[in-house]
Structure 1
């Protein structure tokens, strides 16, 4: 490569590299000299099975053609995993490339140090313009992050009429949140960013996080669709003590009002038990009338027949309602991805922009009877990941190797020509994507810390290799689980006490110790019995008192621009 172009790729801006390129440079060489733009799109709680690029029946019934476009234009990772299947810790791992015990964010409620090395801060220091739009959910605001522009949702965010936080204050905006995130993203790309610099944009969706409220046009999208009930839906958790104590069962633990939108009786519009009633109360009268009309007939049918249904029939009805709403919220996310891809094509940004679509973790779609995440079982441990970068990644690539969300940071930094910090736990995927990596990892480490807490999933750590998985639930119990994923992919049979696997279990216990040492885990006595120490975070009204009236309500409410 021309040495002048190489130096510009590392130290100069995109525009400098283009202007300095000699006329005789080949198109491929000129493209390589440009530092890539990055759009990192992440949804919250998107199951692998609900992305049609992965070929599952759920994806076929509820397709995601625009997310699939990214895989078709670039790469689909078939074995992508997280370090901790929980929103905040997963985001912290993604930004830093480090496990939670090193980046300081192991469970929700902690305060993340945004001044530490993150890939967005490092790119900003090297001349990138950066922005964050949508769900944040690490700290209240992006303190310490060097974003040139940020518009984020308050905490979990709402599906309708959310509060938006900027450096100038808090305002309520009327509309559907997924659509707003898309609009704000396109506006920033089109008219707010510094077009003399390469850009890195964080675009984070609230959907399809609980409580699964579809957009007005999609409330009845799957109303008449009957999704296949998982074989493990009525799991009794035999041999899995930790699973027996969880509280994330669709037909026992999901809130009938808040989660499943079940009403109090025939002709009624009031939801049943609703632990967070403020979400429904955010709807305007017009939105509420449209919402009630969309669900009335189905809810009346349920209320008329509930007394005659068996427990199993009601459990299946609840599964269908959950799936119908969950998948309908994803349709809006897929629309959003399509708008962004179309914008890149229309504005000559397609070739030199890395576009990633992933989720902060996987999610249960009724497997084992569950919604939510947290466990190291495959459905929540594994996450969708597709990426396109036409200048460098061959269209239609499929990666079978095991990657983890700590690998994103070093990958983006290497593509941008920025030095990767020495303390990063992840590994750059650049050589893997080029087909030149011959020494990739053969095992993954996982650690979940948040207990006691909502859903009552016990603390555990574990290791997974290409065939086997070993987990240790350690806080208020001492239970081991071992699975042969080739013979038992649904993880129904804990084979820890099966003598034929004794050699593999011994090997994986040694592998856990090796990985804990590799990733600088502190001594066991510092974390095995440590209580959760959640830190008090200020209320928004304390940070932005001028944005609130004397009743604690946001002063400014505005329609979508």
Structure 2
């Protein structure tokens, strides 16, 4: 083989790699968007600093991703619970059509994920961290069904473990009780064994191993989901901050019935120390992302890697007297979505239109120049992200409770949110006039057309997506009345 032929082959390989950008997704769990500096910058002060003027988490690495690409300010979990939101994210289909419409329900085996599309196109694919789409197994390392993630050695199905280790038999949870059963204790976890650090190291190992070929890697961090514990020094890093309860904390009696505080979410007392540790988890995530970005720069991959930062759903963090998720309030349903894609998405882009996790798969595949599976139901939002001026876009996305029995459904635009449920009257939130979501604006005369349009959109969604919550019954009756049908 001549030197010229070898050179041509090398150049061809380099060109092919450049034409197929790498994809790195960093997904957190139960993450309140207000803990990120880049999101606080998009909000008025009273919304950015709901836990007090001094209760600020510094997130320079995540903020740098937003500066290099796009920040989506109205991105929602299609169903604000782990399993159904992830099902929509990976498949581009509504949760009710994936098998994973509520927690611990396994993803249908015929689902084709964005990772499978890229694997078939020659990408090296891998995954580390929480999966939550293979049923009730816990932790269940390396599920047999890979869904396109060829290297899933470090994928575990369920749990919010705090300490991991590598053994001759593979990865395992390194914190155990007296019977040897894994638990969520820290057990002296450090910068090599704490979950966030350990999983980020696995991502960097994969990137180094596949630096000379197109790759897709998904890093799924179990934090900042509870328990709110984190390794030193992050456990004390925010303890001296003046952290207070959000303004809506004591107003839980005003919550719509679909968001009534109950069970483990019923917060009787604000815990500033717990919030300080939540902030510490977020800061540790950001510090690890800084290391990952440094690795990409070291390998000269930073400009040929599309980097996504997002979460599966939010955490109310004491807003409306609640913790956790599962309802249509902003803190529960709105999640970060940041995409840095040099040469594809202009730096400093902000998209305010409403999007959902169901829109991710068709959007990311289009950005990478790939074809999405035919049965995706989400929308390709790549035109919004890349700034196409002639794009026609219907500013509404749809949310649903994590169930196939009738609970609640919602239609959300950048400004308005209509929620209909079996538990209460229909609610319309005006996120511009009432960002704290305390008032029902449905009966105001100026909102008649808005309500009609959102109700009609929900009815159409119910038909096209075959949502069993909208297969007749009370919710459809409410929507027909609101839409004037």
- SS of residue in 1 equivalent to 2:205: helix
From 66, 69, 73, the counterpart of 1:71? 66
Aligned counterparts of 2:278 and 2:456: Cα–Cα separation in 1? 40
Aligned counterparts of 2:370 and 2:394: Cα–Cα separation in 1? 23
From 183, 186, 190, the counterpart of 2:208? 190
Checking the alignment, whether the CA contact within 8 Å between 1:248 and 1:370 is kept in structure 2 is no
Deviation at 1:18, TM superposition (A): 6.7
Deviation at 1:92, TM superposition (A): 0.8
Checking the alignment, whether the CA contact within 8 Å between 1:85 and 1:374 is kept in structure 2 is yes
From 210, 235, 238, the counterpart of 1:222? 238
Aligned counterparts of 1:157 and 1:239: Cα–Cα separation in 2? 29
- SS of residue in 1 equivalent to 2:379: coil
- SS of residue in 2 equivalent to 1:237: helix
- Superimposed CA distance per residue, residues 280-332 of structure 1 (whole angstroms, 9 cap, x where no aligned partner): xxxxxxxxxxxxxxxxxxxxxxxxxxxxxxxxxxx34x2x1221111111111
Query: 1:25-44 residue pairs with structure 2 within 5 A?
Result: 34-44=19-29
Deviation at 1:374, TM superposition (A): 1.0
Question: Which residue number corresponds to residue 256 of structure 1?
Answer: none
Question: Which residue number corresponds to residue 332 of structure 2?
Answer: 380
Deviation at 1:498, TM superposition (A): 4.9
Question: Which residue number corresponds to residue 156 of structure 2?
Answer: 153
Aligned counterparts of 2:310 and 2:144: Cα–Cα separation in 1? 21
- SS of residue in 1 equivalent to 2:426: strand
- SS of residue in 1 equivalent to 2:302: coil
Aligned counterparts of 1:17 and 1:418: Cα–Cα separation in 2? 24
Unaligned runs of 5+ in 2: 1-6, 41-47, 138-142, 175-188, 476-485
Aligned counterparts of 2:246 and 2:273: Cα–Cα separation in 1? 15
TM-score by length of 2: 0.82
- The answer to whether residue 323 in structure 2 is matched with residue 371 in structure 1 is yes
Deviation at 1:414, TM superposition (A): 1.8
Kindly tell me: are residues 239 and 121 of structure 1, through their superposed partners in 2, closer, same or farther at Cα, counting changes over 3 Å? closer
Query: 1:404-553 residue pairs with structure 2 within 5 A?
Result: 404-436=356-388, 438-450=391-403, 459-474=407-422, 477=423, 479-498=425-444, 501-522=447-468, 524-525=470-471
Deviation at 1:211, TM superposition (A): 0.5
Kindly tell me: are residues 223 and 112 of structure 1, through their superposed partners in 2, closer, same or farther at Cα, counting changes over 3 Å? same
- The answer to whether residue 350 in structure 2 is matched with residue 398 in structure 1 is yes
Checking the alignment, whether the CA contact within 8 Å between 2:55 and 2:241 is kept in structure 1 is no
Kindly tell me: are residues 461 and 344 of structure 1, through their superposed partners in 2, closer, same or farther at Cα, counting changes over 3 Å? same
Question: Which residue number corresponds to residue 122 of structure 1?
Answer: 117
Aligned counterparts of 1:212 and 1:118: Cα–Cα separation in 2? 31
Checking the alignment, whether the CA contact within 8 Å between 1:470 and 1:480 is kept in structure 2 is yes
- The answer to whether residue 35 in structure 2 is matched with residue 54 in structure 1 is no
Deviation at 1:132, TM superposition (A): 0.3
Query: 1:41-440 residue pairs with structure 2 within 5 A?
Result: 41-55=26-40, 56-57=48-49, 61-139=56-134, 140=137, 141=143, 143-150=145-152, 151-153=154-156, 155-161=158-164, 171-173=172-174, 175-191=193-209, 193=210, 195-238=211-254, 240-244=256-260, 246-249=262-265, 251-252=267-268, 315-316=269-270, 318=271, 320-436=272-388, 438-440=391-393
TM-score by length of 1: 0.71
- SS of residue in 2 equivalent to 1:207: strand
- SS of residue in 2 equivalent to 1:217: coil
Aligned counterparts of 2:156 and 2:12: Cα–Cα separation in 1? 41
From 20, 42, 66, the counterpart of 2:12? 20
Which entry has the higher C-alpha Rg, 1 or 2? 1
- SS of residue in 2 equivalent to 1:147: coil
The structure 1 segments of at least 4 consecutive aligned residues displaced by more than 6 Å after TM superposition are 15-18, 526-529
Aligned counterparts of 1:428 and 1:88: Cα–Cα separation in 2? 22
Kindly tell me: are residues 472 and 91 of structure 1, through their superposed partners in 2, closer, same or farther at Cα, counting changes over 3 Å? same
Question: Which residue number corresponds to residue 483 of structure 2?
Answer: none
Aligned counterparts of 2:132 and 2:276: Cα–Cα separation in 1? 26
Deviation at 1:501, TM superposition (A): 3.9
Deviation at 1:500, TM superposition (A): 5.7
Deviation at 1:417, TM superposition (A): 2.7
Kindly tell me: are residues 165 and 433 of structure 1, through their superposed partners in 2, closer, same or farther at Cα, counting changes over 3 Å? farther
- SS of residue in 1 equivalent to 2:451: helix
Checking the alignment, whether the CA contact within 8 Å between 2:459 and 2:470 is kept in structure 1 is no
Query: In the comparison of the two structures, how many residue pairs are matched?
Result: 433
Aligned counterparts of 1:527 and 1:128: Cα–Cα separation in 2? 46
Higher mean C-alpha displacement, 378-387 vs 429-438: 429-438
- Superimposed CA distance per residue, residues 449-474 of structure 1 (whole angstroms, 9 cap, x where no aligned partner): 3499xxxxx92101122332211122
Kindly tell me: are residues 467 and 122 of structure 1, through their superposed partners in 2, closer, same or farther at Cα, counting changes over 3 Å? same
State the superposition RMSD in angstroms: 2.9
- SS of residue in 1 equivalent to 2:366: helix
Kindly tell me: are residues 170 and 184 of structure 1, through their superposed partners in 2, closer, same or farther at Cα, counting changes over 3 Å? closer
Checking the alignment, whether the CA contact within 8 Å between 2:407 and 2:469 is kept in structure 1 is no
Deviation at 1:396, TM superposition (A): 1.5
Deviation at 1:491, TM superposition (A): 1.1
Deviation at 1:91, TM superposition (A): 0.9
- Superimposed CA distance per residue, residues 7-30 of structure 1 (whole angstroms, 9 cap, x where no aligned partner): xxxxxxxx99972389xxxxxxx6
Higher mean C-alpha displacement, 140-149 vs 346-355: 140-149
Kindly tell me: are residues 451 and 156 of structure 1, through their superposed partners in 2, closer, same or farther at Cα, counting changes over 3 Å? farther
Kindly tell me: are residues 507 and 403 of structure 1, through their superposed partners in 2, closer, same or farther at Cα, counting changes over 3 Å? closer
Kindly tell me: are residues 33 and 177 of structure 1, through their superposed partners in 2, closer, same or farther at Cα, counting changes over 3 Å? closer
